[in-house]
Every structure is written in C-alpha cells, then in structure tokens.
Amino acid sequence: MKNQTIVARLRKQKGWTQERLAEETGLSVRTIQRIEKGDDSSLETLGLVANALDISVNELFNDDEDSQTLEKVAAYVDEQASQLEKRDAEDKLFSIFRLGYIFIMVLLATGINFISDKLLQTILGLVWTFIFLTGLTLSKYIRKTHWKDRLDKKYPLTKNISLSRDRHLDRKGFSHASKDDFLWWKSPVVRPIGMIFWGIIIPLLFICKYALHLF
C-alpha cells in the first residue's frame, strides 16, 4: 500500500518528527520509516498511525489508490466505527453506574442529616465521607486500568482513540451526530454540569458539615 507521501505530509503538518510519531503510536522508528517509504503495512499498524494523527485510516491514502486497497480500508473503517460505537456505549454505562453510586450516597447523607443525635450523626457522617471519597477514588482507578484494558481487548480497533471526541466516524471519516444526542446524559454541556452538581457540590456540602463542621 503506497501511502508514503500522505503520511509524511500529515506528520510534518503537525510538526512531528518520525521519532515523535513512533512515540505516539507505540511503533518503532523503523516501522514509521517503512510506512513513509511505501512498504506494505497492515491496516492495524496504519490504524495506530491514524489514531495518533487524529484522523481516520482512509485519510492516509491518496484518492488514486487502487480500488482493492480502498475496499479493504473502507471495511476496516466501518468495523472500527462499529467497535467505537459499542465501546462508547459501554463506557457511558460505567458513567451511569458511577452517577448511581453518587446519587445513592447523597441519599444516605440526606438520611444522616435527619438524625437527631449529634454525636451519632457526626460519626456516621465521618464514615460516610470516608466511604464516599474511597468509592470515587476506586471507581476512577478501575476505569483507567481494568475497565480500559477490558475494552481494549474487546474492541482492539478502538485502542488509543479518545471517547471524548464529539463524533463517531463513518466509513469516509466524517462526523455524524447520534440520534439520541438530545438526552441530557449525552449532552457535552448538560452532562458535565449535572456531574459537577451531584458529584462535587452536593457531596462537598455534606463533607463540610460532617468532616469540617463548618455548619
């Protein structure tokens, strides 16, 4: 697959050296050199290059590439887009579980607030603070380690692709919106506001009361 001109040009447009591209992709400098020289390379390898350059695989090829190669690339991009959509759904599921944990903990804190015995309320409040902060820390650790590794193995074509991108790739590399993007938990604006309110502001009020005794 002859793609040396476009890969080299895209790399230079970002101001990267071959060493920088090798570092970003996890490939060797020799492999990067072979790709830019036009030597045959697997689509999986080119996928790593495309991910590092933040483009789709088909954008690595010239328009005059042979039809057989373009068909293989199109099939790869379709499969990658499918895996990305599934991975994104599972990743959002983890976020929902985490939000559910926060909601339950807020309910528990509200119940503790109604306890008339101040000493018991303080003790339970301190226990709640410890459990809440520990739970958040563990969930963050699990998401960045075990959960990420699981999704990388299940959807290998999406490895190192950021799910924070506000797009899903179709076979031509263009972005298209999800049909249910109107749902609040998928909104790039509303979701962070909701997470800040329920995950930071409300718990912080209880922490200030139970742990710091500010009011």
- Sequential DSSP letters for 86-131: HHHHHHHHHHHHHHHHHHHHHHHHHHHHT-S-HHHHHHHHHHHHHH
Q: Are residues 100 and 142 in the same domain?
A: yes
Q: Are residues 204 and 146 in the same domain?
A: no
Last residue of a domain, one of 25, 41, 65: 65
Nearest Cα neighbor of 51 from 198, 189, 155, 157 is: 157
Instruction: For 155-191, write each residue's pLDDT tens digit.
Output: 988 887 765 444 444 444 434 444 454 455 556 666 6
Q: Residue 175 corresponds to which tokens in the numbers above?
A: 């972005």
Q: Are residues 104 and 167 in the same domain?
A: yes
Q: Are residues 79 and 169 in the same domain?
A: yes
Determine if the pTM surpasses 0.75.
no
CATH number for 58: 1.10.260.40
Q: φ and ψ at 64, to 5 degrees? A: -90, 15
Domain that holds residue 172: 70-176
